[in-house]
Chain A
Amino acid sequence: MSAALVSPKSFVSEERPTWCPGCGDYGVLQALQRAAAQLGLQPHEIAVVSGIGCSGKISSYFNAYGLHVLHGRSLPCAIGVKMANPNLTVIAAGGDGDGFGIGGNHFLNAIRRNINITYIVMDNQVYGLTKGQTSPTSAHGFKSTTSPAGSAENPMHPLRLALANGAGFIAQGFSAERSQLVDLMVRAIQHKGFSLLNTISPCVTFNKVNTYDWYRERLHNLDEDGSHNPADRASAFAKVMEHGDLVRGLVYAEEGPSYDEFIPGYTGGSMADMVKRADAALVDKLMAEYR
């Protein structure tokens, strides 16, 4: 079959988004549609594996094979998908609560594993879908229904965590800076290995502190910062700290060997094609150990 020409529209599903008007997630969805078109991918070549949250709905609205799983579990599901069919471009997606709270352990270990998937977090520093509770990235003092006196906890720093844990591709985008976001998505998907794209995606309904304007005033554009070297992990870390994580652009990128290169016998083909009964001769060999 000859590949059909794709445009961002090719990735618009039959379902209309139900996000609140103005929600940052619209920008993330549109950026992803543009990035996929720019990469020349066909919808059927992509699997979007999303968690639970407003953000997790992205798999409903993006036209590709979608797997919408459990709260916090997009990464392990995506890893299974990618290992079973490496021909698929696998994008895991979800919210800050999904990825850094309930799924935090998967985040840390997915980095370590360096499987070739892209992880897009829509970070709004709040729990959107459950109506506005404090999230792992909410600022200290953030007031919400579950922390009426202000959050007593310090926020998680996903970029710093990813840097410290050895991630090979780390970027932060801003939903309202569309062309930069598209560019970061393209590079994240092209990166061989695990890539983290944390995306500032404001929740206009439940986060009245961290608004579009709040971010606009503060986000430092790393891509225009001549003193930033995305090939140097230590200085990238210093840069992120210097700006209190309020950066946008490429934080760090360095391609290293990916997981499958260390898996003996890994074919790189689809495991669906391997489902057949093992040869009697092979089983005979396996049994020989126990004769």
Chain B
Amino acid sequence: MRTELVWKVGGQQGEGIDSTGIVFLNACHSLGYYTFGYRHFMSRIKGGHTNYQVRVATRPVYAVGDQTDILIAFDQESIDYNFWELPAGAFVIADGFGAKLPEERGVTLAEVPLTKIASDLGNSLMKNMVAMGATCELTGLPVEPFEMFIERQFGRKGQEVVKANLEALDAGRKYVRERWGHQAHFKLVDSGMKPDGRLVIEGDYAAGMGALTAGCRFLAAYPITPASMIMEYLAVHFPKVGGVVIQAEDEIAALCMAIGANWAGARAMTSTSGPGFSLMQEAIGLSGLTETPVVIVDVQRAGPATGLPTKHEQGDLNEIIYGSHGDIPRIVIAPGTIEECFYAMAEAFNLADKHQCPVIVAMDLYLGMSRGTANEFDVSRVRVDRGALLSGPDALAKVRGQFERFADTPSGISPRVLPGTPGFIHLTTGDEHTWNGRITEDTKIRKAIMDKRLRKIDEVDYPGLSVRGDVPADLVLVGFGATTGSLWEAADRLNAGGTRTAVVQLTRLWPFPAEELTAALDGAGSVLVVESNATGQLAHLIRSRIGGDLLPTLLKYDGDPIRPGEVEMRAKEVIADVSGARIA
């Protein structure tokens, strides 16, 4: 019996591949397993190969599987596209007859007329239910969660529909039982758990929920994969709390609206991906210079230009850290798991309010669009801290008559009073200005107020990194964002193989946690920086902040996320290089 199973469904876009994947994932969740689902899709609505991989395990999983054990293939393309990740012993359930495996490798081809069975029962769309039945039979998973799903999903459409779907589920089981029976090696051990206290959710939705929880009530954005889901989430839920989503005419407008709303006192944000983030550069500087808080989420996808619009990458890093002309204070944080998306988003608003600067939440497609198990979010861990925002008669009385909006303070943070407040009229300008906000070109003030602004982020109360494993270690894997999950898993395997491996996840990319990172890398046998881009943007950032040589990297930029096995392989090379060098 196994403790993990990787299942995948593939077909043409528009035939319900995603929803099939989600049905399977949810069912496994309800059986108490941990899950991680990754959606592979193309930038078109109908047609083109798409697949949904679901990992099911008895321990938490945060990454796509290296291999797929069971592939449900609705067409030959799904077999050809995914065959490389099928190990010996894997099973392909192919729809209909005449499918071919590209080579003989101990993979079983099980031809099941999924569509035909469904059509015979009244509706070819039920082929997905036939496939679920086949899966249950092969793996020995109980059918109850699927039956419950059918009741819930189709109950409204009448008993006829429910009955037909239940029959489809059963027909799939029967067909497989008669020909291949139960395949013992796919049998998952019972999870022994209930799903209590856990969710299955996408990173984008978790981020949306985090923003709402933290008191954000305004989002302006322009639709873009893979960030739209944040916007869509808040469009549904903001009305419950008096919030507003504006679909802006472009990302420039989106960020400007969010800045305007923050200036007026709201907690406001925008969400986007690379192309939109590029359009926002000038306005990021506006937030920085005017000391107006704003939260920007960049769910990165593969660039440049339109690039691979539905594929994963972490290639915006340079722009996130350095983008916009001139010098501004900014804070960049990077959640690495779905759960972290919730808390990072919530905390981003505190950071923005406190430091009165743009806060960029660096996410990526792999994180934002993957659906997986997360612990329930703990609202009590979310706090709301508006920083030096003066309101209420007492606070205002203290500064009345001597208020300077951009007053020079030791921390650089100047108390803020919101427009609409009687007696505190001031100008906020994107031109350089004096302590009380008047446009100036005075060289002394320019220098002093620039220093004041930059000083605001000398101390930022947000963890710079999260270290898993003991340091110093033989090997330290370094990464950020969704790559973290693959690093953890690779580290587990390397540790099991005798290489003492630690993982450093950079949770704050700016201000860069140079001291903490230096300490974590101190005494490491080898270091490997793992990131999804072509030029090693993180590795270069690290070198620029902590010095030394450029660290060895694993760079992946073909659009697919980095898998644990790839990290493990590259890590072994790096270790071998180092020990090789020692011997020589």
Contact = CB atoms under 8 A, between A and B. Distances in A.
Contacts of B199: 287, 290-291
A261 interface: no
Contacts of A87: 420
Interface string B183-227: 000000000000100111100010001001111011010000000
B118 to A, nearest CB: 28
Interface stretch (B372-380, B445-453, B480-488, B510-518): B372-380
Contacts of B419: 44, 47, 65, 67, 81, 85, 88
Given A44-B423, A69-B286, A271-B217, A80 B429 contact: no
Most chain B CB atoms below 10 A, which of A43, A277, A290 = A290
A272 B382 CA distance: 18
B253 interface: yes
B239 interface: yes
A115 B116 CA distance: 54
A66 B438 CA distance: 10
Interface string A68-110: 1110010111111111110110000000000000000110110
B263 A67 contact: yes
A5 interface: no
B153 to A, nearest CB: 14
Nearest to B198: A291
Given A272-B264, A275-B215, A277-B379, A264 B253 contact: no
Contacts of A275: 215, 217, 265-267, 384, 386
Contact of B421 (A44, A64, A291): A44
A149 interface: no
B487 to A, nearest CB: 26
A80 B268 contact: yes
B458 interface: no
A41 to B, nearest CB: 12
A59 interface: yes
Given A66-B429, A68-B427, A272-B264, A76 B253 contact: yes
Interface residues of A, number: 63
A207 interface: no
Contacts of B377: 283, 287
A65 B425 contact: yes
Given A77-B257, A88-B419, A287-B377, A271 B425 contact: no
A145 interface: no
B438 A60 contact: yes
Contacts of A282: 240-241
A271 B266 contact: yes
Nearest to A268: B242
A83 B425 contact: no
A15 B437 CA distance: 11
Interface in B489-512: none
Interface string B261-286: 11111111000000000000011001
Contacts of A279: 379
A226 interface: no
B424 interface: yes
Contacts of A287: 199, 209, 376-377
Contact of B212 (A42, A52, A286, A290): A286
Interface stretch (B98-106, B120-128, B243-251, B354-362): B243-251
Interface string B408-429: 0000000000111111111111
B92 interface: no
Interface string A1-34: 1000000000001110000000000000000000
A68 B428 contact: yes
Nearest to B391: A272
Contact of B244 (A15, A59, A68, A266): A266
Contact of B205 (A42, A108, A290): A290
A278 B266 contact: no
B558 to A, nearest CB: 31
A257 to B, nearest CB: 16
Contact of B218 (A47, A73, A80, A264): A80
A42 to B, nearest CB: 7
A197 B438 CA distance: 27
Interface in A254-290: 263-267, 269-272, 274-280, 282-283, 286-287, 290
Contacts of B265: 84-85, 270-272, 275
A45 interface: yes
Given A80-B260, A265-B242, A290-B200, A44 B424 contact: yes
B259 interface: yes
B199 to A, nearest CB: 4
B383 A80 contact: no
A70 B282 contact: yes
A70 B239 CA distance: 31
B195 A274 contact: no
A217 B464 CA distance: 67
Contacts of B427: 13, 59-60, 65-68
A49 interface: yes
Contacts of A265: 238-243
B345 interface: no
A80 B380 CA distance: 30
B249 A106 contact: yes
B218 A283 contact: no
Contacts of A276: 215, 384
B252 interface: yes
B213 A283 contact: yes
B388 interface: no
B260 A278 contact: no
Nearest to B206: A290
A201 interface: no
Contacts of A49: 260
Contacts of B241: 265, 274, 278, 282
B195 to A, nearest CB: 7
Contacts of A77: 256-257, 259-260, 263
A157 B218 CA distance: 33
A80 B252 CA distance: 13
Nearest to A113: B246
B144 interface: no
B174 interface: no
B148 interface: no
A19 B263 CA distance: 27
Given A106-B249, A271-B267, A278 B426 contact: no
A47 B264 contact: yes
Contacts of B217: 84, 271, 274-275
Contacts of B438: 14-15, 60
A102 B199 CA distance: 46
Nearest to A112: B249
A108 B265 CA distance: 27
A252 to B, nearest CB: 23
A277 B382 contact: yes
A63 interface: yes
List the 5 shortest-distance A-B pairs measured between CB atoms, nearest first: A80-B260, A272-B265, A265-B239, A271-B266, A65-B419
Given A42-B422, A279-B379, 11 more contacts: A44-B420, A44-B422, A70-B430, A80-B259, A80-B262, A83-B246, A85-B264, A270-B265, A272-B418, A274-B242, A287-B199
Interface of B: 195, 198-201, 205, 209, 212-215, 217-218, 220, 237-244, 246, 248-250, 252-254, 256-268, 282-283, 286, 290, 376-377, 379-380, 382-384, 386, 391, 418-431, 438-439
17 contacts: A67-B290, A70-B256, A70-B282, A76-B253, A76-B260, A79-B246, A80-B268, A81-B263, A81-B264, A85-B265, A85-B418, A88-B419, A271-B268, A275-B265, A277-B213, A277-B382, A278-B214
